[in-house]
Amino acid sequence: MPRLTPSAVASPSIARGRARRIASRHVGLGLVLSAAMLLGGVVLYLWPQVRLMGLWYQHSKLLQQRTQVLQREKELQVELGSLQQLRRIEEIAAQHLGLRPPQATQVIYVRPGPQSVGQRRE
Q: CA–CA separation, 113 vs 122, rounded Å?
A: 15
Query: What pTM was estimated for this model as a whole?
Result: 0.41
- Torsion of Cα atoms, 26 then 31 then 32 then 34, to 10°: 120
Say what the pLDDT of residue 13 is. Answer: 66
Say what the pLDDT of residue 60 is. Answer: 96
Q: Where are the beta strands (DSSP E) in the chain?
A: none
Mean pLDDT by 10 residues, the chain (122 residues): 52 68 78 93 92 94 97 93 82 89 88 68 52
Say what the pLDDT of residue 79 is. Answer: 86
Say what the pLDDT of residue 119 is. Answer: 59
Domain boundaries, given as residue ranges, for the chain: 10-100
